[in-house]
Amino acid sequence: MARLHEYQGKAIFAQYGLTIPQGRVATSAEEARDIASEINAPVVVKAQIWVTGRAGKGLVQFAETPDQAYKAAASLLGKQVDNFTIERVMVEQQVAFDREFYLGLIIDDRERAPVVIFSSVGGTGIEDIAREHPGKLARHTVDIRYGLRDFEARDLCRRVGINGKLMMQLSKTMLNFYAAARGMEARSAEINPLVFTEAGELIAVDARFTVDDYAVFRHKELDVEIAREFDRPPTPLEKIAWDIEKNDYRGTFYFIQMETDFQKGDGVIGFHGAGGGGSMMNMDALLRHGFKIANFVDTSGNPPASKVYRAARIILSQQGIDGYYAGGSGVASQEQFHSARGLVKAFMDAQLNVPGVIRLGGNAEEYAIEILERANGSFPAPVKGYGRDDAPDFCAQQLENMIEQYEPVADPAPRDVPEAEEPYSFETVTGGTVTFDHARCRDCESKICIETCVPKILSLEGDVPVLNIGQDAAKRGGCTECLACEVECHFLGNKGGFIQLPIEGLDR
């Protein structure tokens, strides 16, 4: 999930007609003082980091003058709290109020619908209020065909004892709040507290938003760096991985680093899963054998070979891992040879220098294992392939044995890809480039690229492969990046095909 900072959430609320305090975000103490001067009233300075209970942690400070705002911001900016560094503070006018409320929304998986939650008491300890004073809190499951309707919002107010003019004001705020959450495709949103001021206004003093990670690409205005919910800032590799996922929705690619402070010999494994449950089973086997897990990766849901390739390259970029283990479900419906080809190309491009055990269970697993083991000798380290009938503990033991027996090569030479004499190239949907060296293709006896091209977009023109669709069609997705025209050509042809798949931000 993509969590938004308070200032981002408030900007959304303002866009949808809710009232927010006067103020804005600052990145320096000087800027905080300037904002306080513009407001010309007492302000509150709040750290913008993803932690709860900010007031209790001293991350919300009150200032009566611009100089006090400067001091408050200076004391907060750069501070480390719960693995986060405070880089921004919200400076906004203090609000005097008579009452405070809680207003929230969640997508309830059990109800399969949005649920609006309203409490006549807000502020710190809302969970305790719900537990100890259930009459002060009401919930309503929203019919998404109609959205939250005015009479339903008013009913929420009545159920917690609010009527009259205030009820009318609150119901309008609820409708705007629901529209904001719905419009931004939020998985959850809340205002705590929503305050009723001495002047008779309802103001959203705080704002929390969590946006569905698969909706973020539709909301570029949010400027979300990475749509994952971490308890720490994302690592550089996590950012690189997210850039791949957000731009290619064919299958899943989830990447998170679990160990970052390690070195060769610590027993840390680069892990590549496929499917949540099966991945957990394989990770447990590695842990039982005394290994640590450098990262968790999931490439499932029928990803193209190119996505598996990029995942493998990112895993292998983690310096100091002692082995590579891939394993997920034993009954995956996706064709396993796509994953095998993606892994083989990654191992060749990176010149794999740690032993690899690959457990590919599912459609065409025997063919996938053949593709993997055929590649041995094309990179320094050995790779073994296994299928659904090979238990994860057995596979983990094999990896342990291979690590004990393997002596890493010092500074392995990069893969040698000769420059094409007669290049024929076209682009792919993720910015890749497929190149055939027709000088080599002409002398190829197998023409294996034609036979193994999964989308069947290649045909022979004379003795060389060419597209049988337009280059624009290939770039729009006609080329599915199955990688057969390189991997199969390398082993069964005349090594005339090569695919360049850029990974922005990753050193190659």
Give 323-346 as a 3 state SS string. EEEEECCCCEEEEHHHHHHHHHHH
Kindly state whether residues 317 and 347 are assigned to the same domain.
Answer: yes
Neighbouring CB atoms inside 10 A of 336's CB total 25
C-alpha distances (whole Å) from 82 to each of 8, 25, 49, 406 are 21, 21, 9, 40
Q: In this structure, are strands 254-257 and 295-298 parallel, antiparallel, or unpaired? A: antiparallel
14 found inside a domain: no
How, if at all, do strands 423-427 and 464-467 pair?
unpaired
378 and 284 both lie in a single domain: yes
Q: Are residues 150 and 31 in the same domain?
A: no
**Residue 242 domain-assigned?**
yes
**Contact 337/288 with Cβ under 8 angstroms?**
no
Three-state DSSP state, 358: strand
* 240 & 311 share domain: yes
Judge contact between 482 and 304, C-beta under 8 A.
yes
Looking at the structure, do residues 347 and 483 belong to the same domain, yes or no? Answer: no
The CB density around residue 395, as the number of other CB atoms within 10 Å, is 23
Residue 366 in any domain: the answer is: yes
Residues 254, 206 share a domain: no
The verdict on 306 and 370 lying in the same domain is: yes
Q: Using an 8 Å Cβ cutoff, are 226 and 217 in contact?
A: no
Domain boundary pick from 93, 123, 138: 93
Looking at the structure of the chain, the number of domains it has is: 4
- State CA 423 to chain mean position distance: 37
Considering the domain architecture, whether residues 265 and 367 belong to the same structural domain is answered as yes
220's tokens: 């570029």
Based on the fold, state whether residues 241 and 390 are members of the same structural domain.
Answer: yes
Q: How do the pLDDT tens digits run along the chain, 508 residues long?
A: 678 889 999 999 999 999 999 999 999 999 999 999 999 999 999 999 988 888 889 999 999 999 999 999 999 999 998 888 999 999 999 999 999 999 999 999 899 999 999 999 887 666 666 677 778 999 999 999 999 999 999 999 999 999 999 999 999 999 999 999 999 999 999 999 999 998 999 999 999 999 887 777 788 788 777 777 666 788 899 999 988 988 888 988 889 999 999 999 999 999 999 987 889 999 999 999 999 999 999 998 899 999 999 999 999 999 999 999 999 876 666 889 999 999 999 999 999 999 999 999 888 999 999 999 999 999 999 999 999 999 999 999 999 999 999 999 998 999 999 899 999 999 999 999 999 999 999 999 999 999 999 999 999 999 999 999 999 999 999 999 999 999 999 999 999 999 999 999 986 5
Q: In this structure, which amino acid lies at residue 234?
A: P
End-to-end CA distance of the chain: 30
Q: Both 440 and 476 in a single domain?
A: yes
Residues 301 and 357 placed together within one structural domain of the fold: yes
Tell me how far apart the alpha carbons of residues 345 and 375 are, in angstroms, rounded to a whole number: 9
| CA proximity to 258, closest of 227, 225, 287 | 287
Q: Is 4 among the domain residues?
A: no
- Distance of alpha carbon 169 from alpha carbon 200, whole angstroms: 10
Domain extent, residue 126, equals 97-222
DSSP label at residue 463? T
Q: What is the pTM for the complete model shown? A: 0.80
Decide if 505 is inside a domain. no
Residue 416 lies in a domain: no
Query: Does residue 75 lie within any of the structural domains?
Result: yes
Provide the residue type at 145 as one letter.
Answer: R
Task: Say yes or no: 255 and 378 in one domain.
Answer: yes
Q: Cα 279 from chain centroid?
A: 17
Q: What is the CATH number of the domain that holds 53?
A: 3.30.1490.20
Strands 383-386 and 23-26, by their bridges, are: unpaired
d(CA 73, CA 23): 14
CA dihedral 264, 268, 270, 274 (to 10 degrees): 170
CATH code: domain of residue 145:
3.30.470.20
Choose the final residue of a domain: 60, 93, 126. Answer: 93
Angle between helices 336-350 and 365-374 (to 10 degrees): 10
CATH number for the domain spanning 364: value is 3.40.50.261
289 is a domain residue: yes
Biggest alpha carbon–alpha carbon distance for the chain: 87
Among residues 405, 432, 464, which one ends one of the domains?
A: 405
3-state helix, strand, coil in the chain (%, to 5): 35, 25, 40
Please list the alpha-helical segments (H only) found in 266-387.
276-288, 305-316, 336-350, 365-374
Give the H or E element holding residue 473: helix 471-473
Helix axis angle, 305-316 to 336-350, nearest 10°: 40
